[in-house]
Amino acid sequence: MKTDFLNYIKETFKFPPEEMKDFESALSRPLKKTIRVNTNKISIGDFRQLANQHGWILWETPLGKNMFYIDRDDTSLALGHTLEHIAWYFYVQELAASSSPFYMSEDSIDTWEYTILDMSASPGGKTTQLAEYYPNSTIIANEIDKSRMRQLHENLDRLGVKDSFVTNYDGRFFANYPETFDKILLDAPCSGEWTAYKTDDALKYWNLKNIKRIAKLQIKLLESAFIALKTWGELVYSTCTLNRLENEEIINKLTDKYGDYFNIISLSEDLSKPLIRAWPHKNNTGGFFVVKLRKKAPIEDLKSSNKLQKNTQGFEKVSNTEEKTILNFLEQTFALKLSGKFYTYRNEVYYTEKNIDFFWENFFLYKCGMKIWKLENGIFEPNFFCGINLWKFCKNNLQISTEDLHLLLSWWEINVNNSDGYYQISLWKVLAGIVKVKSWNMKSLLENRFMRK
């Protein structure tokens, strides 16, 4: 274990020798597996019934009604290949990673229509969690690293987040848009000290010089977020690191510059300790830090902003003819009537319920809502997840057996007596996606990279 880091913790936080032993031991101890039930798709009660059928044991965690520790006696099938995961009824998420949306929402569902920015979104756990807590809101999921965007896109689609829009900016860019967002989550890039339990590399290059370099970026990102926040809006700043330089000192710097413009909202019953700091050896989780701010006045004397110039979007708005084709297919095939907006990227079709004219005019969007599949040569075909994410259809529903579902999810075809067409399949209370029947053979529309192993 990196000696410099341990000495810093001991000297800064005054841990006695026995506590330092506990702390060091906790850093190399694997965390308990945790999952988050996706309450946009299934109730906690129904999920518990499914878990009981599999012999899964769920324990409540301190971070939300839908976050659970999970134990399984039979691990022959990975969690990620279970039907419930393919249907995205749950998301495998470390407890610390769920902390910032939990504290932003105070673990309650808010149906108001907010505009929310997740400034550092990939791989999408926090964004999809925000979509559960704020189901009627518009969410901008920003990710600076393009190599991480594919996983972000997939998670947003699979968890059924219809009203999220992906951007690819350095977070400092958002300072060009003062007073724009109702809520902002900045889970800041950090030294990641608490991830030492995964690999020794987390502390391999730890030194104060590197920490100070990271802290310079963090304060710039936080200032950008604060400028972009609306008056009376709320901002959560969080890290998965333990030192004070990336945590309390960042808040102190913001206070020095903008202290007259915000209040810190206490996240603890002890009002003298409004910030949340979790320790691996105390809280049975990875270490994390969270603070919540409320802006109380617009910032005076801001320099004139240089907003993004109008760009041609990679996406296109569907034509009236294309929209009619999609709507007619969904109504005739599944008796589903949708109201919203459709966009296309190449031949892929995306759907959202929101009016995004402001973002369309000002930001370059890498994703517009939820992908529901393709429109080619005037013909629409849904994707597998369309059957999970667009609710239970009123027509062409099929209940299938566990054995047949396993074959379909493994990309086998099965013989059926149904006529040609598209069907929404389900097993008990689990919506399992869209299949296509042709010449008495049923085939899953699940993409190859998602198939069951």
Task: Output phi, psi for 92, to 5 deg.
Answer: -75, 115
- Is residue 394 annotated as part of the catalytic site, yes or no? no
* Both structure tokens of 361: 């005019």
Tell me how far CA of residue 263 lies from CA of 118, 278, 425, in angstroms: 21, 22, 50
Peptide bond into 101 cis (omega under 30): no
The answer for 94, left when phi > 0, alpha when psi is -120 to 50, beta otherwise, is beta
* Cβ proximity of 433 and 425 under 8 Å: yes
From the list 141, 176, 194, the residue with the least C-alpha distance to 29 is 194
Helix (H) or strand (E) holding 424: strand 421-427
436 - beta bridge partners? 422, 443
DSSP 135-165: TT-EEEEE-S-GGGHHHHHHHHHHTT-TTEE
CB-based contacts of 416: which residues, under 8 Å, 6+ apart? 437, 440, 441, 442
Place of tokens 């296509």: 436
Question: How far is the first Cα of the chain from the last one, in angstroms, to the nearest whole number?
Answer: 37
Q: Give the Cα separation of 213 and 190 in Å (integer).
A: 10
34 - beta bridge partners? 69
* Cβ proximity of 110 and 134 under 8 Å: yes
Q: What distance lies between CA 197 and its chain's CA centroid?
A: 23
Place of tokens 């599999």: 54
Catalytic: which of 190, 240, 368, 386?
Answer: 240
Helix (H) or strand (E) holding 21: helix 17-27
* Cβ proximity of 428 and 54 under 8 Å: no
* Cβ proximity of 295 and 261 under 8 Å: yes
Q: Give the Cα separation of 201 and 4 in Å (integer).
A: 14
Helix (H) or strand (E) holding 60: strand 57-60
* Cβ proximity of 64 and 50 under 8 Å: no
Residues annotated as catalytic (active site), given as ranges: 240
